[in-house]
Amino acid sequence: MTRLRTAIAVPLVGAAVAHALPAVTARRPARLLTPRLAGEGRAGGVALTFDDGPDPHGTPAVLETLADLGWRATFFLLGSQVRRFPEMARLVVDAGHEVAVHGTLHRNHLIRTPLGIRRDLRFAAREIAEVTGVRPRWFRPPYGILSTGSLWAAREVGLVPVLWTAWGKDWRAGPADEVAAEVMSTLRSGGTVLLHDSDCTSRAGSWRSTVAALPLLAAELRVRDLEVRTLGDHLDPRC
């Protein structure tokens, strides 16, 4: 009986480890070993990205501030939010920004099957394309946690996974100067910034911290002579 249990357990443990192995990239040191996945692009600028939208309050406020700054960014949209607020998703594209896939539901991929993840990504990509008229290219998993199933599903759906090199931890709804300082503590030329334009998975009103932090980030980036780009501009070697 013991040998039988071992014979069953070993393959199961091996499969679980293989499924979870890509999740190590959720930690910054591991992401730095995979620069393209981390969003490392052309020097001289940074990519600005937002997760969890669209949102009827946060998204318009972020878009207005980006317009004031003359910046274009990439928005990783949730299919469930697009379905609830299609006009907000269209507003992102109409304002000249790039849309990408954050999934349909904001659930950790480590507890989802590969087929479930593929369905999730396929639905989200279709929802975004139908509502905005733009076929998304990029994909970022909820919480930035990838599984082997995530990578397989993204390839099946025709999406490219991209994480980030710097984040503002703006979901905590802290002071704007702390959000900006958190970003700048790890941001380097060629990096990718993660912020949020929605509080659907964060503290209520956290998008206000994000909006207030953007002009502070602009001042820091001007000092460093770094431009702000979409991921498409940032990661495309032809640019």
Range of 13-22, 32-41, 138-147, 230-239 with top mean pLDDT: 138-147
This prediction has a pTM of 0.89
Residues that are catalytic: 51, 196
Residue, of 222 and 15, whose pLDDT is higher:
222
Residue 53 scores a pLDDT above 80: yes
Residue 148 scores a pLDDT above 70: yes
Residue 187 scores a pLDDT above 80: yes
Phi/psi of residue 46, nearest 5 degrees: -140, 155
Mean pLDDT of 135-160: 95
Kind and range of the H or E element at 217?
helix 206-223
Mean pLDDT of 32-40: 84
pLDDT at 40: 96
Residues making up the chain, counted from first to last? 239
Mean pLDDT of the chain: 90
pLDDT at 222: 97
- Distance CA(110)–CA(150), nearest Å, equals 9
Mean pLDDT of 101-109: 93
- Distance CA(146)–CA(77), nearest Å, equals 17
Domain boundaries, the chain: 2-26+35-235
Residue 226 scores a pLDDT above 50: yes
Q: How many CB atoms lie within 10 A of CB 9?
A: 10
- What are the tokens at 80? 């469930």
Residue, of 56 and 239, whose pLDDT is higher:
56
> Comparing 127-131, 199-203, 229-233, which segment has the lowest mean pLDDT?
199-203
The dotted CATH code for 2-26+35-235 is 3.20.20.370
Burial 136-174 (b: 16+ CB within 10 A, else e): bbbbbbbebbbbbbbbebbeebebbbbbbbbbbbbbebb
pLDDT at 8: 46
pLDDT digits (tens, 9 = 90+) for 106-123: 988 888 999 999 999 999
Per-residue confidence at 6, pLDDT binned at 50, 70, 90? very low
Strand positions, DSSP E, 39-82: 45-53, 74-77
Residue 164 scores a pLDDT above 80: yes
pLDDT at 19: 53
Q: How far is CA 64 from the centre of its chain?
A: 20
